Chain A
Amino acid sequence: MRRFSWFNVTSLTLGFAFLYVPMLILVIYSFNDSKLVTVWAGFSTKWYGELFQNQAFLDAAWVTLRVAVMSSTIATVLGTMAAYTMVRAGRFYGRTLFSGMIYAPLVMPEVITGLSLLLLFIGIGLDRGVVTVVLAHTTFAMCYVSVVVSSRLVSFDKSLEEAALDLGCTPFQAFRLVTLPIIAPAVISGWLLAFTLSLDDLVIASFTAGPSATTLPIKIFSSVRLGVSPEINALSTIMIGIVASGVILFSLISKRNIARAEADARAAERT
């Protein structure tokens, strides 16, 4: 291991402190016995208990979970299809424009995405609720999924699919039996990414949710405006836990994915 200079150590420490100290404080205060958020009065888990008594929060959590599962699943299906088509179609007229349009929502300000979706839903007369949030989350999560999946597909050996066709598969069977199992890790990590994105989205959800489908981030945001309660801290801690697990799982899978692809490449060279 190389040693870091004092400058590096300082900047690393400051950087990580900047990123994680606020969260750490939040986590610590979620175990505070006192009702006052700023005064430490001993360790307690009572706020977690109260949190699970609070019907409004539980409802919001249920909505969030449903939205996240549905939108990330739909986004994974659509994003994988989009990636497959873009990678397989080869060159066609307008390809660059097309792929640019898939990636554009990644950099689009969320406010604009949210606003435009809101206008669309009003325009077509769709009542705001769980369905509209799911649609909205699917829209932007799909782009992330397609980025993750297409980066795997680019290195996918096309002759594997041809071999499947040659051995009697229909094109759909070839995809299901050969392509999909091989790219599965990328698809799963795409799903995880979409899931965590949906879980912690506030902006787009507040444009598209409507009163009947309050998600957790919306609920937290609106309660905080009335004052920070230790309950919110507890809830946030749980969310941090879930999102962090998602992200860690995502990166573990991608890492294994890369290692696997490298092993395949080495094996191919050895032949």
Chain B
Amino acid sequence: MAANGASVFAPWDDPDQTPLIRFENVTKRFGDFTAIDNLSLDIYAREFFALLGPSGCGKTTMMRMLAGFETPTEGKIYIGGQDMGPIAPNQRPVNMMFQSYALFPHLSVYENIAFGLRRDGQPKDKIEARVEDMLRMVRLQKFAKRKPHQISGGQRQRVALARSLAKEPKLLLLDEPLGALDAKLREDTQFELMDIQEKTGTTFVIVTHDQEEAMTVASRIAVMDEGRIMQVATPDRIYEFPENAYVADFIGDVNLIEGTATPSGEDEVTITWAENQQPIRAKTQRKLATGQKVFYAIRPEKVGISKEEPTDVVNKAKGRILDIAYLGNLSTYHVQMPTGEIIKAQSANTRRIARRPFTWEEEVWVSWNGTGGSVLED
């Protein structure tokens, strides 16, 4: 599976690979508002690349610059080694699937998909064959003659996808393509997208504000905030090794514990974080100064919970259960320390409700080992 960061597909680790897309110190300002701030980024051919970030962080602006609807205020964008500066949108080897789908309301599904092919002046029978292929791919053969307002939202989304793939672009841009779909359809479509991406070998850049979606589909994710990239990495690295507190907090659920670092040997640090608590011992590659303020990030599922004091783990703390969030297969326990800090611990619900071991207000121990979390600088 190329799309899911399996060991074979990792052009970003290969120094001999040239990227398909290169953002070089790109800044985009609207008036005196900076939407994209001195951003550099490489995206490789055949990647399924996700831009992830909260609303307003500049994701759409990045897409629009790639498609040619906005020009960078500073910096350069290269696609396939070519400077895109002087290239008009209709001359770029790029197609875009719009957030609003932007289907032509006066044309049928068939004509919508054929639209781009006709502009290239291809022979009629070739266009016909291609459109039929596309209709089959998105399973809309029966709807070819309908107008966009005569089909459902999910079908419209598939027409938009077929239309943007019809010209076999080198690069497909998808701006929140699944935003308007309900949860079930969304999930199905995510897998469909991955499937299509693999089959066609097209490079996909997808915009989303849904971290689960990014994790599911992407080979790599760029987490953005206020026009800057906070981290670019594979989904597992983003999740396991966030580089900063922003990414740790944005992706999934996390305990962010603030404390003071004291280096304590090779790749190891102890962090004092609360009165009367044993300092956290953690592994880290970072070179930290004694007394430096740091964050310790640990996922709730890496934190165990028990009634008795555990003996075989390096980090533990005692507290009281403040809250229990029941998530079906899992429960998240919010455990409050005597000094007020809350640590979330997750455990699988293997027993029926009546036989759960922990209840509210109970005194418990939370514990985790030295490699479970990451040490982040402020």
Contact = CB atoms under 8 A, between A and B. Distances in A.
Interface in A216-271: 263-264, 267-268, 270-271
Contacts of A162: 67, 69, 89, 96, 98, 102
Contacts of A157: 100, 102
Interface residues of A, number: 23
Interface in B32-84: 67-69
A127 B169 CA distance: 59
Interface stretch (A44-52, A72-80, A109-117, A166-174): A166-174
A27 interface: no
A261 to B, nearest CB: 10
A68 B115 CA distance: 37
A267 B119 contact: no
A87 interface: no
A182 B102 contact: no
A162 B96 CA distance: 9
A160 interface: yes
Contacts of A169: 90, 119
B153 A163 contact: no
A159 interface: yes
Which of A159, A166, A169, A182 has the most B CB atoms < 10 Å from its CB? A166
Interface string B166-177: 010000000000
Contact of B104 (A160, A166, A267): A160
A190 B249 CA distance: 56
A178 interface: yes
B334 interface: no
A178 to B, nearest CB: 6
Given A264-B149, A270-B153, A168 B116 contact: yes
B352 interface: no
B105 A182 contact: yes
A166 B100 contact: no
A178 B153 CA distance: 21
Interface string A148-167: 00000000010110111111
Interface in A55-105: none
Nearest to A182: B106
B90 A159 contact: no
A182 B100 CA distance: 17
A78 B237 CA distance: 59
Contacts of B106: 178, 181-182
A173 to B, nearest CB: 7
A22 to B, nearest CB: 44
B180 interface: yes
Interface residues of B, number: 31
B122 to A, nearest CB: 11
Interface string A171-203: 001000110011000000000000000000000
B13 interface: no
A181 B108 CA distance: 13
A167 B153 contact: no
B7 to A, nearest CB: 35
B102 A163 contact: yes
A167 B95 contact: yes
B163 interface: yes
Nearest to A160: B102
A50 B90 CA distance: 62
Nearest to B114: A167
Contacts of A264: 105, 149
Contacts of B156: 271
Contacts of A173: 119
Contacts of B96: 162-163, 166
A159 B105 contact: no
A167 B163 contact: yes
B90 A168 contact: yes
B373 interface: no
B101 interface: yes
A178 B106 CA distance: 8
Contacts of B279: none
Most interface-central of A167, A264, A267 (chain B CB within 10 A): A167
Contacts of B157: 271
Contacts of A178: 104, 106
A240 B115 CA distance: 45
Contact of A165 (B90, B99, B180): B90
A168 B99 CA distance: 19
Given A160-B104, A263-B149, A267-B148, 10 more contacts: A163-B104, A165-B69, A166-B89, A166-B90, A167-B90, A167-B95, A169-B90, A173-B119, A264-B149, A270-B153
Interface of A: 157, 159-160, 162-170, 173, 177-178, 181-182, 263-264, 267-268, 270-271
For the complex of A and B, 10 pairs with smallest distance between CB atoms: A167-B116, A168-B119, A271-B153, A163-B102, A159-B102, A267-B149, A165-B89, A271-B180, A181-B106, A168-B90
